[in-house]
Chain A
Amino acid sequence: MSIRVIAAREMAERKLVWVAAGYMALAGLALPYLRGLSGAPAADARGVLGVALNLAFVGTLAALLGAAMIPGDLASGRIGFYLVRPVSVAAVLWGRLLGGWLLAVAGGLVVVLPQVVLGPWRDYRGWALVVGCTALLAIPVMLLAHVLAVSWRSRTLWILLDLTGLGLYGWFVVQLLIRLAMARAGRVNLDAFLLAALVLPTLALAVAAQLQLDQGRTDLRRGHRWLALSLAGGLLVSALLLSAPYLTILASSRTTG
């Protein structure tokens, strides 16, 4: 399947990632000793460091790859190599992003492996949860980096809409969160809200990325128009959906109050 072939190619392309991951893994092992944490149990320090490094490595790599892979090729014109293949635009976009994501996640695993094997935190399920969570978080990070980089490289004024939209969305989510917390919405509901606040814009970013490449192709101006409008629309829809629980709380409090 084309997506698989393209993802595999993307991973094979960036062998340096493994070197970096190996380096970070060793650093993770050595760091507690270097900083002379003789007081705190070195084992715990290693465990914490492992989680932190995993998070940092995966997050950074996701952002770097997201910003470099396709936006770079769009700006330089090298995207043509992929677009003259008999494969769909979606396969090119999602294949490459998948490859980058797998690379980031696999690199994170390498970073964390010594801690899992050597460290005292032998709770494999716990580690799996950590790795799994960072892997999932990497998706919106990568998509955001991709979209922002494309927006920047397209060199049109639509970037103002993109940044404004994202900023407004972020502010809106924070406002809703505060109000929900004050309305004592309950822990479970807040968690669900946060999850939705992350998943919905991720979907919006994905749709925008797809439309940008499919409708723009080598025409960056056209692509950016599609990106900006679909992202703004997607964020608006997300904001509306997210405000639903708060509005129901308001409505119920009005009827009771």
Chain B
Amino acid sequence: MTSIPVVQCAGLTMAYGRRPALAGVSLEVPAGAVYALLGRNGSGKSTLVRALLGLARPRAGEARLFGEDVWRHRARAMARVGVVPETPDLPPAMSAAQASAFCGRLAPAWDGAGVAARLARLQVDPAMPVARLSRGQQTQVALALALGGRPELLVLDDPTLGLDPVARQDLYRELLDELAERGSTVFITTHDLAGIEGLADRVGILHQGRLLLDEPLEALKARFRQVRWATSGPEDLAALGPEALAALAPVAITRDAFGVQALVPGFTAEGLAAAGLAEASVTGASLEEIFMGLVNGEVQA
């Protein structure tokens, strides 16, 4: 039995006036998965999130949550979604306790005690106006409120932006607990590649409004390799020959004093041998290296 994906974009195209923001983005997030959307500033991440939350209407294509068009059925969908926005958007004079009471009265089911317990555990003063809390605490309040409705889907738009390392770890820990406890689906956009590496099931990379790739993190890490070999000069690279380079098909090449490093997708031992680099050292690539290679270097994924 195939269940409907919790998050679904099909040919999503967004624009601000004449300025395009997203071009034909399609992705799916199955229930229980953690999907990390990566991309540089201005790549369209926040626009995508706004489309997913029914806050902006697509020019073309559609955005669906739980199988329903979210622009048309926003209120119904939001009952099952918890949102942590990029910048805190609570009314500044509101306290966390007031916010919980307010959201509770608007939601079909609300775990007020859970919200209070979470805030107490994180030592956030529930009576203080949120504008007076630290940025990290404001994010925790936002997360607590997002989880208060016991959502099936959690959407976090760059939640670690502006957080110090301790606050960042606190956030991930709360998120992990939530995943362990309820197995919610998570859609998170982030710059924190190292932090998300342990969490994400599936990864998408957005670049100038297009989805460069969209695959399970494990498969992505299995595909890419860093191939290093020593050279005495730039002519050695040229000496590899275009066929060899084509066999290797690197996505990004960096040179330093010790030699050359190539980021290779679709790595195979045969390809390596064909390039005459059978003795090169081959190691895995971190998510950050893959991201930098794809977004900085020539795009050949």
Are chains A and B touching in the complex at the 8 Å CB cutoff? Answer: yes
Q: Which residues of A contact B (CB under 8 A)?
A: 2, 5-6, 9, 12-13, 77-81, 83-89, 215, 217-219, 221-222
Q: Shortest beta-carbon distance, B22 to chain A, in Å?
A: 13
Residue of A nearest to B83 (CB): A84
Q: Report the bound CA distance from A85 to B85 in whole Å.
A: 13
Q: Is the CB of B54 within 8 A of A217?
A: yes
The answer to whether A13 touches B79, judged by C-beta atoms less than 8 angstroms apart, is no
Chain B residues with CB below 8 A from A89, complex form: 74
Partner of B53 from the list A6, A13, A84, A88 (CB cut-off 8 Å) is: A84
* Contact in complex: B55, A83 (CB < 8 Å): yes
Report the bound CA distance from A79 to B89 in whole Å.
Answer: 8
Where the two chains meet, the residues of B that have a C-beta atom closer than 8 Å to any C-beta of A are 16-17, 50, 53-57, 74-76, 78-79, 81, 83, 85, 87, 89-91, 93-94, 98, 102-103, 105-108, 149
Cβ contacts under 8 Å, A215 to chain B? 57
Partner of A80, one of B81, B85, B107, B149: B85
**Which residue of B53, B81, B83, B106 is within 8 Å of A87 (Cβ)?**
B106
Known: A86-B78, A86-B79. A222 touches B107 (CB 8 A): no
- Name the A residues within 8 Å of B89 (CB-CB): 77-81
Name A83's contact: one of B57, B74, B94 (CB within 8 Å).
Answer: B74
Residues on A with C-beta less than 8 A from B79 are: 86
- A5 vs B101: C-alpha distance when bound (angstroms): 10
Q: Which residues of A contact B107 (CB under 8 A)?
A: 85-86
- Please list 10 pairs of residues, one from A and one from B, whose beta carbons are closer than 8 Å in the complex, sorted by A's number: A2-B106, A5-B106, A6-B106, A13-B93, A78-B89, A81-B90, A83-B53, A85-B103, A217-B54, A218-B56
Task: Add 16 more A-B contacts to A6-B106, A89-B74, A217-B55 (CB < 8 A).
Answer: A2-B106, A9-B102, A12-B98, A13-B91, A13-B93, A13-B94, A79-B89, A81-B91, A83-B54, A84-B55, A84-B78, A85-B106, A86-B75, A86-B78, A217-B56, A221-B16
Contacts of A13 on B, CB cut-off 8 Å?
91, 93-94
The answer on a CB contact under 8 Å between A77 and B87 is yes
In the bound complex, residues from chain A placing their C-beta under 8 Å from that of B94 are: 13
Is the CB–CB distance between A219 and B57 below 8 Å? yes
Nearest B residue to A78 via CB reads B89
The distance in angstroms between the C-alpha atoms of A88 and B79, with both chains bound, is: 11
Chain B residue nearest to A219 (CB atoms) is: B56
Nearest CB on A from B70, distance (A): 11
A5/B102 in contact, CB under 8 A: yes
In the assembled complex, the Cα of A9 lies from the Cα of B16 at a distance in Å of: 32
CB neighbours (8 Å) of A83 from chain B are 53-55, 74
Chain A residue, CB-CB nearest to B14: A219
Closest 3 CB pairs of A and B: A86-B79, A81-B89, A218-B55
Q: With A and B bound together, what is the CA distance between A218 and B47 in angstroms? A: 10
Asked, given contacts A5-B102, A81-B91, whether A86 binds B55 with beta carbons under 8 Å apart, the answer is no
| Complex: chain B residue closest to A90, CB-CB | B75
The residue in chain A whose Cβ has the minimal distance to the Cβ of B92 is A78
The closest CB in chain B to the CB of A4 belongs to B105
Q: How far is the CA of A221 from the CA of B17 in the complex (A)?
A: 7
Residue of A whose beta carbon sits closest to that of B102: A9
A185 to B90: give the CA distance in the assembly, Å.
54
Choose among B17, B50, B75, B94 the residue with the greatest number of A CB atoms under 10 Å from its CB. Answer: B75
In this complex, the member of A2, A13, A84 whose beta carbon has the largest number of chain B beta carbons within 10 angstroms is A84
A13-B94, A221-B16 known; A80-B55 Cβ under 8 A = yes
Q: Which chain B residue lies CB-closest to A218? A: B55
**A80 neighbours in B (Cβ, 8 Å):** 55, 83, 85, 89
Which B residue sits closest to A6, measured CB to CB?
B106
Residue of chain B at shortest CB distance from A214: B74
In the complex, A39 Cα to B83 Cα: how many Å?
Answer: 65
Q: Give Cα A85 to B57, complex, Å.
A: 18
Contact A222–B91 (Cβ < 8 Å)? no
Given contacts A2-B106, A77-B89, A81-B90, contact A88 B75 (CB under 8 A): yes
